[in-house]
Amino acid sequence: MSTYHTPVLAQTCTEYMQLQPGGVYVDATVGAAGHSLTFLQACPQIALYCFDRDAEAIAEAKSNLQDYEEQIHLIHSPFSGMRTQLALNKVASVDGVLFDLGVSSHQLDEAARGFSFDRDARLDMRMDDSQAYCAEDVVNDASEYELKRIFKEYGEEQQAGRIAKAILRARNDEPIRRTLQLAKIIESVAGSGTRESLKTKLRVFQALRIEVNKELEELETALNDAIMLLKPGGRVLVMSYHSLEDRIVKNRYKEAERGCVCPPRQMVCNCGLKPRVKVITKRPVGASEEEIAANPRSRGAKLRVAEKL
């Protein structure tokens, strides 16, 4: 399992989850099942619903969780389908939900999936290969305005407009089908061989990945659903790896903690919204120096936990 993906903050997540025998839990992003396995080892008497939109991850999780067949339910679905899928399994409420967002090391390392700008592959970037829409479609079909928006909004890229223009120029000559082809186009704007140009390529590729997999929309929907599904005292844990995701989590928790959305000057509340959660982690929890040394991909992790009232 360790070559597929090393779980981040696995013990910390297990402690925050406060697993109870007989409880029902969700691992919304099972991947290679590192967190699921740690949960089951800590408290084997739970029911665990494991989601992933990547069929390969579900197969890997199945093999890694083979000692716990009775306790687990593996579901190949995006986590935005969590409510529907749990309802189909006659589960109306749960004791805890974990989101370990983003892509696994395996997905990143497998050149053919097209997530990396330094390994030649088709511009794919789909986490779920049954989905039709891929990075090649975005790069060749989106308007200049749309490309600029994607790079600016999802990559927070300063040169978004110039890169969008360069893509339009290049695709007038021939379709852009390969990762290295796109990397060269980005280099024509940002230069090559410098730290800054490397970061620009990272940001543009990240933006395309977020667009292809609708990652922010997925998170918004599923986080609301998770809060709704939790039993009183149940916890939602979200581990994010970039500021856009972390902002969504922080704001969604804040809104759910505040309840009322009436303007501050209004004396009497008429929205009727009550606080639904208490935020347990006032500041996000990150990986320790030791964990970062052992697993550099844990560096950017930010864990935020909220508890249902």
- Binding interface with ligand SAM (CB under 6 A): 5, 7, 29, 31-35, 51-54, 57, 78-79, 100, 102-104, 127, 218
Cα 291 to Cα 295: distance, rounded to the nearest angstrom: 6
Smaller CB separation from ligand SAM, 163 or 237: 237
Q: How many Å from the N-terminal Cα to the C-terminal Cα in the chain? A: 36
If the CB atoms of residues 16 and 183 are measured against ligand SAM, the closer one turns out to be 16
CA distances from 124 to 92, 129, 191 (A): 36, 9, 24
Name the minimum Å distance from CB 278 to ligand SAM: 25
**What is the closest distance, in whole angstroms, from the C-beta atom of residue 189 to ligand SAM in the complex?**
29
Q: What is the rounded radius of gyration, in angstroms, for the C-alpha atoms of the chain?
A: 21
Q: Do 31 and 5 meet the contact criterion of CB atoms below 8 Å apart?
A: yes
Measure the CA–CA gap between 305 and 283, rounded to whole angstroms.
10
**What's the closest the beta carbon of residue 104 comes to ligand SAM, in angstroms?**
4
| Closest distance of CB 284 from ligand SAM, Å | 16
Half-sphere exposure of 199 (CA within 13 A, CB side): 7
In angstroms, give the least distance from the CB of 135 to ligand SAM.
16
Q: Which residue, 33 or 248, is less far from ligand SAM as judged by CB?
A: 33
Give me the residues paired with residue 47 across strands: 24
Closer Cβ to ligand SAM, 39 or 151, answer by number: 39
Residue placing its CB nearer to ligand SAM in the complex, 79 or 151:
79
Least CB distance from residue 296 to ligand SAM, whole Å?
14
Minimum distance between the CB of residue 285 and ligand SAM, rounded to whole angstroms?
Answer: 16
Task: Provide long-range contacts, Cβ within 8 A and 24+ apart, for 288-297.
Answer: 291/8, 291/9, 294/6, 295/6, 295/8, 297/6, 297/8, 297/105
| Rounded distance between C-alpha atoms, residue 157 and residue 164, angstroms | 11
CA pair distance 102, 232, nearest whole angstrom: 28
Decide whether 74 or 160 has the Cβ nearer to ligand SAM.
Answer: 74
Apex 117 CA angle, 133 and 303, nearest 5: 80
**What does the chain come to in residues?**
309
| Least distance CB 2 / ligand SAM (angstroms) | 10
156: phi then psi, degrees, rounded to nearest 5: 50, 45
Residue with Cβ nearer ligand SAM (26 or 182): 26
Residue closer to ligand SAM, measured from CB, 7 or 114: 7
